[in-house]
Structure 1
Amino acid sequence: MAVSKRHSLQQSMVTRGVAQVDRLTKRLLQNISPGSVAVIHHDDLDELAASGLIQAEVKAVVNAGQTMSGKTPGHGPMLLLKSGIPIVEIEPIWFPMILNQKELMIYSDEIVVDDGLIIPCNPFTKEKWLYLNLSAKNLMHEQLREFIDNTLTYAQVEREVVLKPLQCPEMSTVLEGKHVLIVVRGREFKQDLAALRGYIRQKRPVLIGVDGGADALLEQGYIPDIIIGDMDSVSDSALHCGAELIVHAFRNGQAPGLERLRAMGLQAVTLASYGTSEDMALLLSYDNQCEQIVTVGLHSSMYDFLEKGRQGMGSTVLVRMKVGDKLTDAKGIGKLTELQGNYN
């Protein structure tokens, strides 16, 4: 009865579309079709994910996670709302009930699936964003204290490993004496990479894509020499581009990303390291005697890491201290180039 009533009140429908479902937003973005409804399970939806959903031209976002927890300020949800993409939240228990390619009719308080299932939902509004964003800003001093404590704890554990040279004997790409450009999927990474076109043309650096950073290189017309990471956010086409593939493994040697590559029939080497994949890319370049490291999209602040769900950045601080004499971070260069153009 509820379904037929809703069908008779078409003016109350927010939108409708075919569901594309994945618990990992970055994995969903690899294959999502324009006009679909993104069904995700994403706590504290970050700007990078939101920008990807906007670029994918989704009709709506159904989130089984907390779009904002109120612990971390974030502009991702507001980017979606300003782009006219509605966000509705559902309880996590309903997430497995929404199957891929099912048509969804989204109303302000419920979602009707084409098999007759009705799922309660709540709209995530601009007013809710304003309240939660202000709450998070008021808690930032506490967040900073906890983050510093965690960073110091991680640094104590990881310092000896960071100090030791990181070598990968199976790697065929030569880094010694060369410039290296490392591209990471961080805030405004696409704009910053585009601004480095002259540098790339002149210096011809070794191009390293950290997971989805490889796709950014390809989008700008460059072929990565190396792709490093756990291989969960890089596209199939990037993995097939001919780059040398290095899978980031845990210290115990386990490398979950290797399974995906084997299933695709691709050869790869594994390298165990603490910290993030971008830390590993920096250490590998530095310890193999490169001349200069230029980075795009690097995560370097507390805000960056809280968006990624990391509660500290011990290895990152240590790695930056180690490689600092060769490191040039190009974060924000795209914005500076744009500003320079406005003044000329």
Structure 2
Amino acid sequence: MAPMSLFSRNTELPGLHGVLRDCTPAGKSSKRLREGDIAVVDAPDITRQLAQRLIEAKPVAVINLARFTTGSVPNFGPLLLLDSDILLVEGVGEDLKAGMRDGKKARVMEDGTIFHAERAIGAGTVLDRAAAEHRFTEAQQGLVDHMEAYFGNTIQFIHSEAPLLIDGVGVPDTGAEITGRKVLVASPGTGLRNQVTLLRNFIREYEPVIIGVDGAADTLVELGHAPDLIVGNPAHIGADTLRSGARVVLPAEPDGHAAGLERIQDLGIGAMTFPAATDSATDLALLLAEYHGAEMIINAGPVLDLEAMFADAPQATPAALLTRAKVGGKLVDADLIANLYTVRSGGGLAWLWAVLGILVALAAIVLIVGTGGDGSFTDNLIDTWNNIALKFQSWFN
């Protein structure tokens, strides 16, 4: 469920009254949403799953810091909430959170204004049934139009790039040893630094071929990982990274023109071009790794999924869809690999500590026994072992 705060209802005062309960991850309140509460969520395009969970708790109103429907997808969440006779107030914004105090009484009015005592701490727009249905219809038609255009461009890309997708025509021979190895393709994104940090044990164990895409190559170098290949426009990459010894591949237009070639020449660095109709360096890096026989390709950076396609995200191009279809089962999201190398705290570590404790105790005993007699360290150990064995024999004789 999205971060949530609560108002408990109090029917003695006008409007919807209650005690403010901060149930966000950083909040101190331990109380959950109860029947008659007013839920405050931050959920743009609120999903059906979240709406159903709210309905099960039977709140009298739901206040959304964002909009219940932004128009990018036809989501059923608002309609489900309205079917349950729940008041919906949207677009309140972050100002409400600044005025919220855990454990304090507050009320929400039918015009969408939220009060703490006599002071207004936020205001939004009440979403009624007609507006919700209109937005749903518009979003549905907009999504259909968007997907028709998307797949139309996909077909066009197939016509122009079939030789590349099928036979790898145009893929450069980088000279890097990729066949049969794991390849890490790092693309620019907000969570890239954390992803690469969590992959450090994987990188240490398997020593994958590392491909830095555009500015992600700088991030790799900053984290202590030297990329084997750099794919992207050199104008977006630091000079020290370009001089790090990695082979540089420049995305080029079908006619061979490559942006950033002048920078490469100024730095005195060798480079090769990769002509294609797509301008996505990430797509080219994935195709390069697949063509040269990578065993597994781990993609760190923004992922391509249905939500990204619906929202027309920058990485959700027709070329990206076809590239991932070409790579197929070799492609793995970096978060999944990182999860395998994440040791959970708590009971999962108890047995490790127990084994460590036993080993330390044994080492201490050996040290004490070996140095506790008049003979050498080895003689003391042998004498002690013989005494223990004779003692056990006497018990059974």
Higher relative contact order (CA 8 A, sep 6+): 1
Q: Deviations over 1:157-183 (max 9, x none)?
A: 222142232554552212111111100
The separation in 2 between residues aligned to 1:341 and 1:209, in whole angstroms, is 32
CA shift, 1:150, in A, is 2.9
CA RMSD of aligned residues (A): 3.8
Query: Contact 2:302–2:315 (CA<8 Å) still a contact in 1?
Result: no
The separation in 1 between residues aligned to 2:195 and 2:310, in whole angstroms, is 22
Instruction: Tell me the SS of whatever aligns to 1:172.
Output: coil
Superposition map of 1:209-248 within 5 A: 209-248=212-251
The aligned amino acid for 2:148 is: D
The separation in 2 between residues aligned to 1:238 and 1:298, in whole angstroms, is 22
Which residue of structure 2 aligns with residue 154 of structure 1? 153
The separation in 2 between residues aligned to 1:299 and 1:208, in whole angstroms, is 16
Query: Contact 1:298–1:329 (CA<8 Å) still a contact in 2?
Result: no
1:279 has 2:278 as partner: no
The separation in 2 between residues aligned to 1:331 and 1:288, in whole angstroms, is 24
The separation in 1 between residues aligned to 2:169 and 2:347, in whole angstroms, is 44
TM-score, normalised to structure 2's length?
0.48
The separation in 1 between residues aligned to 2:346 and 2:322, in whole angstroms, is 38
Instruction: Tell me the SS of whatever aligns to 2:283.
Output: helix
The separation in 1 between residues aligned to 2:347 and 2:144, in whole angstroms, is 40
CA shift, 1:146, in A, is 3.9
The aligned amino acid for 2:244 is: C
Query: Contact 2:171–2:291 (CA<8 Å) still a contact in 1?
Result: no
Query: Contact 1:144–1:302 (CA<8 Å) still a contact in 2?
Result: no
TM-score, normalised to structure 1's length?
0.54
The separation in 2 between residues aligned to 1:241 and 1:140, in whole angstroms, is 48
Mark the CA change 1:151 to 1:202 in structure 2 (over 3 Å): closer, same or farther. Answer: same
Mark the CA change 1:339 to 1:170 in structure 2 (over 3 Å): closer, same or farther. Answer: closer
CA shift, 1:288, in A, is 0.9
Share of identical aligned residues, percent? 28
Instruction: Tell me the SS of whatever aligns to 2:235.
Output: coil
The separation in 2 between residues aligned to 1:332 and 1:144, in whole angstroms, is 30
Superposition map of 1:1-344 within 5 A: 141=140, 144-159=143-158, 160=162, 161-166=164-169, 168-275=171-278, 276-301=280-305, 304=308, 310=314, 313-331=317-335, 340-341=344-345
The aligned amino acid for 2:282 is: E
Query: Contact 1:184–1:210 (CA<8 Å) still a contact in 2?
Result: yes
Aligned residue pairs total 222
The separation in 2 between residues aligned to 1:285 and 1:225, in whole angstroms, is 12
The separation in 2 between residues aligned to 1:176 and 1:292, in whole angstroms, is 10
The aligned amino acid for 1:287 is: Y
The aligned amino acid for 2:324 is: R
The separation in 1 between residues aligned to 2:235 and 2:314, in whole angstroms, is 17
The aligned amino acid for 2:213 is: V
**Greater mean deviation of Cα atoms: 219-228 or 296-305:** 296-305
Q: Which runs of 5+ in 1 are unaligned?
A: 1-69, 83-126
Mark the CA change 1:324 to 1:168 in structure 2 (over 3 Å): closer, same or farther. Answer: closer
The separation in 2 between residues aligned to 1:265 and 1:308, in whole angstroms, is 38
Query: Contact 1:189–1:331 (CA<8 Å) still a contact in 2?
Result: no
CA shift, 1:224, in A, is 0.4
Q: Which has the larger radius of gyration?
A: 2
Query: Contact 1:162–1:315 (CA<8 Å) still a contact in 2?
Result: no
The separation in 2 between residues aligned to 1:146 and 1:241, in whole angstroms, is 46
CA shift, 1:297, in A, is 0.3
The aligned amino acid for 1:148 is: M
CA shift, 1:266, in A, is 1.8
**Greater mean deviation of Cα atoms: 217-226 or 159-168:** 159-168
Mark the CA change 1:253 to 1:222 in structure 2 (over 3 Å): closer, same or farther. Answer: same
Mark the CA change 1:333 to 1:261 in structure 2 (over 3 Å): closer, same or farther. Answer: same
The aligned amino acid for 1:156 is: I
Instruction: Tell me the SS of whatever aligns to 2:236.
Output: coil
Mark the CA change 1:196 to 1:272 in structure 2 (over 3 Å): closer, same or farther. Answer: same
The aligned amino acid for 2:268 is: G
The aligned amino acid for 1:153 is: G
Q: Which runs of 5+ in 2 are unaligned?
A: 1-69, 74-92, 98-121, 126-131, 349-397
Q: Deviations over 1:213-266 (max 9, x none)?
A: 111211221100000012332222211211100000011211112122122222
CA shift, 1:309, in A, is 6.8
The aligned amino acid for 2:273 is: T
Query: Contact 1:147–1:311 (CA<8 Å) still a contact in 2?
Result: no
